[in-house]
Every structure is written in structure tokens, then in C-alpha cells.
Structure 1
Amino acid sequence: MEYIRVTKENLEEEHICCAISNNKDVQVSSKKAWLADRFDEGLVFLKSVERGKCFIEYIPAEHAWNPIEAPGYMYIDCLWVSGSFKGHGYSSDLLSECIKDSKEKGKKGLCILAAAKKKPFLADPKFLKYKGFEVCDEADNGIQLWYLPFEKGAKKPMFKECAKHPHIDEEGYVLYYTNQCPFNAKYVPVLEETAKNNGIPFRAMKIESRNDAQNAPTPITTYSLFCDGKYITNEQMNDKKFLKLAQ
């Protein structure tokens, strides 16, 4: 497989490997706008030259949009290989390139979100364990921070206190989200309209800055749905899923 690095210079021309093929789709444009502001902070987006879901996205942990303490580490936003790309070793290829690049940049190691059992839009814990990652912290909702240190004795990354006990003091449904996930540009408005039409208390909280993301009440900032103060899920909802959940 041949890979290409997406940069500021080629961002507009490149397909960004999600499930949306139209570069002018609002979902793609919102994600690209988010990416464009991250490249100067050290974000790397490496993808297959072929269209499809085969890419890795990572950034120095100090600039990650997550409430973690991991100075000197590289944080993997997303490692996604699916569809016809699965089963060919491409995940290993992408991770190996991330490790090589991170070591060359003098990083202490890598960290990434997962859970004890595979959850949607999170890394596969079996794959992480196979690659030498270990759990270094866990929030009350079962979301785990995994790490792969490059040197013995490296200080373990950890969640900030605000994320260890995911809870908010607000009734009804509250969604925290960012433009990091392209699907949100389409599905957040769907939830807002569905909730309004069905009299369901709902509020969407778009995280607009790294500072807000690093102090969010949830380990997952791309999409975190709460109900009556309790964390529910990080799985993107369409109207049918949301109404079923709200019954």
C-alpha cells in the first residue's frame, strides 16, 4: 500500500478517508476546516492513496482536543482501517509510521483512547494490546487511556480530573461534540430537529477551542451524549436511534 500525508498545501484536493466521497459535503468541509487549524500544532494525517477508510491521525498530546495530561507524548486521534482494507496489515503499517515519526520527534511514547471492550469510533483494545500498549488510566464510564512508552520509566499519561468522573449538572439530553468528526455536521442538526419535534429536552454543546476540549467533562470530546447528567454514549445518533434511546 502507498500512503500520502495530508497537509495544508494539499488538503483541499485530497479525500480525507471518511465514509463521505463528496469533498464539498458539509461534513467533509467542517472536518477539513478543523484539520487546517491543527497542522501548525503538529497534527499528522496519513492515509492510503486509494479512497476509503484507511488512515491515522495524530498530534502532540499537549495540543490534543482531549482532557489528558501526557506531556511529551503523541496522541492518536484516530486509527481507522475498515471495509476492503481490513486484514492486509495496513493498521500495522500506519501505526509503525506513527511510532517512527514520533521517535524522530523525540516523543516519550504514544497514547490513545479505547475501552475494555471495543466501542464504536474507538481503537480496538485487542489490537492495542497486541502492539504492546497498556492501560494507564480509566474513567468511571469505562473509557480507557492506553499508552505505548518508548523508554523505561516514562511517566504514564492520565486523564484530567474533570474527565475521570464524567457527569454534568443538567437535566435532559446534552451533547458535547466537535468538528473533529465529520459526521457531526450532519447528525447533530438531525438530533436537534428530532428532539424539538418530539418535545425532548436537548442541548448541543459544540466545543470550539482546544482549551474547552482539554477541560471537558468527558474523555471523549468528538461526541459525548449525556442524559440527566449521566454519560450515555459516544456513538453518533440518527433520528431513529435517538428516539429509541429516549423512549
Structure 2
Amino acid sequence: MEYIRVTKDNLEKEHICCAISNNKDVQVSSKKAWLADRFDEGLVFLKSVERGKCFIEYIPAENAWVPFNADGYMYIDCLWVSGSFKGHGYSTELVDACIEDSKDKGKKGLCILAAAKKKPFLADPKFLKYKGFTVCDEADNGIQLWYLPFGNEAEKPGFRECAKHPHIEDKGYVLYYTSQCPFNAKYVPVLEQTAKENGIPFRAIHIASREEAQNAPTPITNYALFHDGEYITNEQMNDKKFLKLVNG
């Protein structure tokens, strides 16, 4: 597979989303704006030449929008291979490229979020285990931090206390989200409108800075839905899924 590294210079012309083909879509423009601000912080976005169906996005852990302590590591924001691209070893190629680049940059290892069983928008734990990753921390809601150290002396990364025990005091539905996931630009307003029309207590909190993200009450900051203080899911929802959840 041939890969392209997305940079500030080619960001506008490159297709960067796993499911949205229209580069003028608000979801794509919001994601590209978020990416543009991250490149100077060391973010790497490596994608196949075949649109956005196969890519890896990673950043030095100190600059990751995740509440953990992982100084010296590289954090994988997203590893995505979809559709007909699955089963050809492209995930391995992308992770191997990340490993090589991270070693060249003097990093201690890699880390990534997952769960014991595959969850939407999270890495597959079976693949991570195959690549040599192991679990180094786990939050109360089952979200795990996996890591791949490059040496035996590398200390284990870990969640901050605010994320290790995901809980908030607010009643009703509360959604924490960032602009990292392109879908949020479309579907967060959909949830806000759906909640308003149906009299559902709902509040969306847009995490707009790295500092806010690193102190969030959840390991997953790009989309985390709470109800009456308890974490529910990281799965992006449309109006139908949300109403089904609410009505049980």
C-alpha cells in the first residue's frame, strides 16, 4: 500500500475522513481545523492513497487530548482500516510505520485506548495483543490504556485520577466531546435539538483545549455520554439511537 503523510501544506486537498467523501462537509472542515492546530504539536496523520479508508493518527503523549500520564510516549489517536481494506495487513503496516517513526524520535513506546472487548471507535484488543501491546491501566468504566514499551526500563503510563473513576455530579444527559471526531460537528447539534424537542435534560460540553481534555472526567474525550452522573457510552449517536437509549 502507498501512503501519504498529511501536513499543513496538503491538508485542504487530502481526503481525511473514514466515512465522509465531501471535503466541504462541516464535519470534514471541523476535523481539518482541529488537525491544522495539532501539526505544530507533533501530530502525524498517515493515510493510504485510497481516500480515507486506511489511516493512523498519532501525537506525542504530552500533547494528547487524553487525561493520562505518559510522558515520553507516542499516543495513537486513531487507527482505522475499513471495508475492503481489512484483512490485508494494512493495520500492521501503519502501526509499524508509527513504531519506526516514534523510535526515530526517541520515544519510550506507544500507547492507545481500547477495552477488553472491542468497542465502537476504539482499537481492537486482539490486534493490539498480536502487536505486543499490553494493558497498563483500566478505568472503572472498562476503558483500558494499552502500551507497547520500546525497552524494559520504560515506566508504565496511567490514567489521571479524574479519568480513572468516570463520574460527574450533573443530572440528566451530559455529553463531553471534542472536534477531533468529524461526526460531532453534525450529530451533536442533532442530539441537542432532539433533546429539546422531547423535553430531555441534556447538555453538551465542547472540550476546546488540550488542558481541558487532560483534566476531563473520562478517558475518552472525543465523545463520552453520561446520564445522572454515570458514564454510558462513547458511541456517536443520531436522533433515533439517542431516543432509543432514553426510552430504554
Q: What's the TM-score, normalizing by structure 1?
A: 0.99
For the residue of structure 2 that corresponds to 1:240, the secondary structure is: helix
Distance 2:85 2:51 in 1: 10
Question: Does the CA-based 8 Å contact 2:226-2:233 persist in structure 1?
Answer: yes
What displacement does 1:53 show? 1.6
Question: Does the CA-based 8 Å contact 2:177-2:223 persist in structure 1?
Answer: yes
Q: Show CA shifts across 1:26-76 (max 9, x none).
A: 000000000000000000000000114200000000000000100000000
Report the counterpart of residue 147 of structure 1 in structure 2: 147
Q: Show CA shifts across 1:73-94 (max 9, x none).
A: 0000000001011011000000
Distance 1:52 1:4 in 2: 11
Report the counterpart of residue 179 of structure 1 in structure 2: 179
Distance 1:92 1:199 in 2: 47
Counting matched residue pairs gives 247
Distance 2:106 2:17 in 1: 28
Distance 1:98 1:153 in 2: 20
Distance 1:137 1:232 in 2: 20
For structure 2, the residue ranges without an aligned partner over 5 or more in a row are none
Question: Does the CA-based 8 Å contact 1:17-1:54 persist in structure 2?
Answer: no
Instruction: Answer yes or no: is 1:64 the counterpart of 2:64.
Output: yes
Report the counterpart of residue 216 of structure 2 in structure 1: 216
Matches within 5 A, 1:54-133: 54-133=54-133
Instruction: Answer yes or no: is 1:12 the counterpart of 2:40.
Output: no
> For residue 33 of structure 2, what is the amino acid of its counterpart?
A
Distance 1:61 1:4 in 2: 23
> For residue 216 of structure 1, what is the amino acid of its counterpart?
A
For the residue of structure 2 that corresponds to 1:237, the secondary structure is: coil
Distance 1:52 1:103 in 2: 26
Distance 2:53 2:113 in 1: 19
Distance 2:14 2:215 in 1: 32
For the residue of structure 2 that corresponds to 1:16, the secondary structure is: coil
Q: Show CA shifts across 1:141-191 (max 9, x none).
A: 000000000011210000000000000000000000000000000000000
> For residue 222 of structure 2, what is the amino acid of its counterpart?
T
Distance 2:54 2:24 in 1: 20
Q: What's the TM-score, normalizing by structure 2?
A: 0.99
Question: Does the CA-based 8 Å contact 1:61-1:74 persist in structure 2?
Answer: yes
What displacement does 1:18 show? 1.9
What displacement does 1:109 show? 0.0
Distance 1:19 1:244 in 2: 24
> For residue 243 of structure 1, what is the amino acid of its counterpart?
L
Q: Show CA shifts across 1:12-36 (max 9, x none).
A: 0100032000000000000000000
Structure 1: which 4+ aligned runs deviate by more than 6 Å? Answer: none
Distance 1:154 1:209 in 2: 28
Question: Does the CA-based 8 Å contact 1:17-1:47 persist in structure 2?
Answer: no
Q: Name the Cα RMSD after superposition.
A: 0.5
For structure 1, the residue ranges without an aligned partner over 5 or more in a row are none
> For residue 80 of structure 2, what is the amino acid of its counterpart?
W
Distance 1:82 1:13 in 2: 21
Among the aligned pairs, what percent are the same residue? 85
Matches within 5 A, 1:165-244: 165-244=165-244
Question: Does the CA-based 8 Å contact 1:17-1:55 persist in structure 2?
Answer: no
